[in-house]
Amino acid sequence: QAFSQHPSVFYLMEPGWHVWTRVQKSGARLLRMAVRDCVRSLYQCDFSVMDAYLPEIHNMSSLFMWYQSRALCSPPICSITKHGQMSNHTQCHLKCEAQSLRKVEEACRLYSHVVIKETRFFELESLYPLLQDPNLDLRIVHLVRDPRAVMRSREESAKSFERDNAIVLEQRNVPSGEVQYKMMQEICRSHVRINERAVLKPPPFLKGRYKMVRYEDVARNPLKEISDIYDFVGLDLTDEMAEWIYKVTHGKGTGSRTESFQITSRSAADVSQAWRTALPHNKVKLVQEICKGAMSLLGYKTVDSEKEQKRFDIDVLVPQEPYQFSWVSTKTQHPSKS
């Protein structure tokens, strides 16, 4: 969500959610191309693709978490957010929801960058056509997180993930007590698969277009990490964005369960470490075993006892070398897509 309030960004949150909720009793493998084609159209500001996944009578408010996007709460869509201001989610939700998707398309074309947050790609290969499309200039920011923290977050919002779990697990009949662990296995495998494909043997068109980011690094040093991300995609870190980023990452506490999918002011450092007190050690051990390869690759240390787990002076994050990348030369310039 570091992009959601940037003045140069048209931001959309998880449009693949509509695909997954509209197509019943399918698996992630079958749906990945539908999600890919959906985001491809949206990167080009073509919202007609959403007609297949939204209610027959729909408008901007039908889009998942639309009010999280400053672009959808600002002129020319809605006048509530003044120039130079951050959008207010509550006010936007109340006063801007009735706009048509045609109006959204028009606004989308005014921005230099289109950013889509998407959690429904478990491999990179389905995105290859987008990376090779001369009409796009796609950059992939791959956000990963300590699997133990992911487990804690998923348990807190278990009800919200039931449909997604069934899709990721290909509608298999998995005992309820094993679902979360099977999901963690799939999530960790996907992180390894994506990172190895992008880093070890990337195809030529992927070089310079992939950046892995650990949530914990952002939590510890948000301005530096987000500035690096902005550099990667060709955005400036404005003073207003720096101030907003500081505020939302330096609040108090870890947030309530009802705020799981909201952008609210919390202590990012506390959120990143919350699993150490909230998750029983027997579950931590299971996640560490299931995700052993991913944790090693991504730079997360295991804890061998409950005492070690709760000792916050023991750092479980392995320092990483600064990320290196080079721009891919293109014959023509196009708005950036992330």
Token reading at 78: 């809605």
Q: Is the pLDDT of residue 323 over 80?
A: no
Given strand 336-337, what is the order of strands in its sheet?
Answer: 9-13, 113-117, 336-337
Confidence of residue 255 (pLDDT cuts 50, 70, 90): very low
Closest CA to 328 of 224, 185, 209: 209
* Count of helices and strands (H, E) across the chain: 16, 5
Q: Is the pLDDT of residue 261 over 60?
A: no
Please say whether the beta carbons of 298 and 191 come within 8 A.
yes
Q: What is the pTM of this model?
A: 0.88
Q: How far apart are CA 125 and CA 122, in angstroms?
A: 9
| DSSP-based three-state secondary structure for 232 | helix
- Report the chain's mean pLDDT, rounded to a whole number: 90
pLDDT at position 334, please? 43
Q: What is the pLDDT of residue 66?
A: 96
Our CA dihedral for 203, 208, 209, 215, rounded to 10 degrees, sits at: 120
Q: What integer is the mean pLDDT of 234-245?
A: 94
Beta strand residue intervals within the chain, DSSP E? 9-13, 113-117, 140-144, 210-214, 336-337
CB 336 within 8 A of CB 136: no
Task: Read off the pLDDT of each residue in 74-97 and give the average, rounded to a whole number.
Answer: 91
Bigger pLDDT: 327 vs 320: 320
Instruction: With cut-offs at 50, 70 and 90, classify the pLDDT of residue 252.
Output: low
CB-CB contact of 232 with 326 (8 Å)? no
> How do 140-144 and 210-214 pair as beta strands?
parallel
Average pLDDT on 224-238 reads: 96
Name, in order, each residue with C-beta under 8 angstroms of 83's C-beta and a sequence gap of 6 or more.
Answer: none
Q: Answer yes or no: is pLDDT of 312 > 90.
A: yes
- Of 321, 292, 293, 116, the closest CA to residue 193 belongs to 293
Query: What's the residue count for the chain?
Result: 338
- Tell me what the mean pLDDT of segment 41-46 comes to: 98
CA-angle at 16, arms to 24 and 298, nearest 5°:
115
Do 169 and 179 contact (CB within 8 A), yes or no? yes
Whether pLDDT at 194 is above 50 = yes
- The pLDDT assigned to 260 comes to 40
Give domain 122-338's CATH architecture: 3-Layer(aba) Sandwich (3.40)
CA angle 58, 63, 68 (to 5 degrees): 140
Per domain, the residue ranges of the chain are 1-118, 122-338
